[in-house]
Amino acid sequence: MNIDRIGHFHAAGMPGRAELEYSELDYAYVVKEIDRMGFDGYLGMEYTPTMDRYEGLVRTRKLLYG
């Protein structure tokens, strides 16, 4: 495994690059698995907000970390 060679991950909801909660991907699971592998870097979110930006970040944090 080369998780120690990864500098950061990028994320966006699919399709349409909206908030992660509207994605076809289960980002809560994806982030849990990345954490399980020992990654301690950054997750960059590159999406086009569909709601208030602060509210979107709060909701995304709740989605990913409970």
Domain extent, residue 23, equals 3-65
When divided into structural domains, the chain yields a total of: 1
In sequence order, what are the beta bridge partners of 43?
Answer: 9
- Measured N-to-C along each axis, helices 27-36 and 53-65 cross at an angle, to the nearest 10 degrees, of 60
Q: pLDDT per residue over 10-55, tens digit each?
A: 999 999 999 999 899 999 999 999 999 999 999 999 999 999 999 9
Nearest Cα neighbor of 9 from 22, 24, 27 is: 27
Quick one: pLDDT at residue 1? 72
